Amino acid sequence: MGRPLVIGRSASGEAFALQDACPHRGIPLSYGHFDGTAIECAYHGWQFEALSGRCLKIPSLTSDATLKVERICARGFPSREADGFFWVFVPDDDGRAVDTLELPPPPRVPTFSERFVLTHLALELPCTMDHGIIGLMDPAHGPFVHQSWWWRGRHSIHEKAKRFEPIPNGFRMSAHQPSANSAPYKLMRLAGGGSAEGLRTTIDFVLPNMRFEVVRFGQAWFSTLTTVTPIDRDVCRIDVRAAWNIFRWATPLVLPIGRFFGKKFIAQDQRTMERQAEGLKTQPSLMLIDDADRPAKWYFQLKQALLDSRRDKTEMTHPLKAPVILRWRS
């Protein structure tokens, strides 16, 4: 979005986000000092309350100065912290005040018990946000990009049929029994007693950039929230936040192993996107096919529908009118 921010937590633990530029001379406030309440600019020592952006002090002012310091502000943005993510609401530049009470709650990693393990993985992809997102929801690349003894191989390809349904600002792959050719799902079955009966996974995509996956088997569950965030026009970052309640007794052993294989998994996507970036340099013509690429088509249609609704101030028209079955091989 091309808007640098300085983010942090106050001494009371509240998240804040300010435009990373002092309104005096423009130096980034992130170079300054933060005492838990105020950020002090590194250039002239101007101080700004972190939670509101309101100017608190200008050291160069004399005692008889008439400047209303409290009327000066570093631009602030509503922000919340959840599951280790900072969520910042950046409004349209139309000058309207933002009522924070009307903002939706920040997205959370789905959890289904009081006690669970939470971890995080991240890496950068050399591609636009659009390519990062359609790669994230692509159902057919697994046997080729993620070939490994601990996941799956080319020999495991078979025909699949999945039901998709519309949800607000997105779509859902309805609850179904996950692939039997993936080692992590085999571990899930082991945690639930060994039988595949009752093992179900649900996958949601929600605008602008979120993929939720929930796998449940009785009292055992595993979930992820994956986001794709633009860094600049040609680079984005993928963040995976995962939670689970299985094998908690073995967390000191399971967590490092899970993070090791998780990093291997998303590194395979990173390598593929690096190679794709080489081909995209010449701006070749591209295509999307049915049914494997239908989720990518829905993504572009959803994004356009949302932009149209905001422009026309009308209700968004969802491109997916009713549940549909998609079929592909992977």
Mean pLDDT value of segment 193-206:
78
Q: Does one domain contain both 79 and 223?
A: no
Domain membership of residue 255 (yes or no) is: yes
Structure tokens at 36: 């838990």
Domain membership of residue 307 (yes or no) is: yes
- What was the pLDDT predicted at 211? 95
Q: Does one domain contain both 134 and 65?
A: no
Q: Does one domain contain both 47 and 139?
A: no
Cis omega (within 30 of 0) for bond into 83: no
CATH label of the domain that carries residue 245: 3.90.380.10
For residue 196, is pLDDT > 60?
Answer: no
pTM: 0.86
Mean pLDDT value of segment 121-126:
92
Which amino acid is it at 218? G
Percentages of the chain per state (helix, strand, coil), in multiples of 5: 25, 30, 45
Q: Does one domain contain both 127 and 73?
A: no
Domain membership of residue 107 (yes or no) is: no
**What is d(CA 222, CA 228) in angstroms, rounded to the nearest whole number?**
20
**What is d(CA 275, CA 84) in angstroms, rounded to the nearest whole number?**
31
- What was the pLDDT predicted at 17? 96
**Least confident stretch, 105-114, 134-143, 308-317:** 134-143
Mean pLDDT value of segment 189-213:
80
Q: Does one domain contain both 46 and 158?
A: no
The percent of residues in the chain predicted with pLDDT above 70, rounded, is 90
Domain membership of residue 105 (yes or no) is: no
Candidate ranges 33-37, 118-122, 241-245; pick with highest mean pLDDT: 33-37
pLDDT band at 278 (very low <50, low <70, confident <90, very high): very high
Phi-psi map region of 233: left, alpha, beta (phi>0 left; psi -120 to 50 alpha): alpha
Q: Does one domain contain both 76 and 141?
A: no
- For the chain, helix (H) and strand (E) counts, in that order, are 5, 16
- What was the pLDDT predicted at 146? 81
Q: Are strands 38-40 and 33-34 parallel, antiparallel or unpaired?
A: antiparallel
Radius of gyration of the chain (CA): 23
pLDDT tens digits for 221-259?
A: 999 999 999 988 889 999 999 998 887 777 888 788 888
Q: Does one domain contain both 150 and 273?
A: yes
Domain membership of residue 100 (yes or no) is: no
Last residue of a domain, one of 53, 71, 90: 90
Residues 6+ apart with CB under 8 A from 294: 164, 326
Q: Does one domain contain both 81 and 146?
A: no
Domain membership of residue 289 (yes or no) is: yes
pLDDT band at 190 (very low <50, low <70, confident <90, very high): low
pLDDT tens digits for 61-87?
A: 999 999 999 999 999 999 999 988 899
Chain-centroid distance of CA 134 in Å reads 13
Domain limits for position 176 = 117-329
Domain membership of residue 125 (yes or no) is: yes
CATH label of the domain that carries residue 42: 2.102.10.10
Q: Does one domain contain both 155 and 240?
A: yes
Domain membership of residue 97 (yes or no) is: no
Please calculate the CA angle 271-329-140 and round it to the nearest 5 degrees: 25
Q: Does one domain contain both 22 and 66?
A: yes
Q: Does one domain contain both 262 and 303?
A: yes
Last residue of a domain, one of 46, 71, 90: 90
Task: State the residue for tokens 């349904």.
Answer: 165
Domain count, the chain: 2
Q: Does one domain contain both 182 and 323?
A: yes
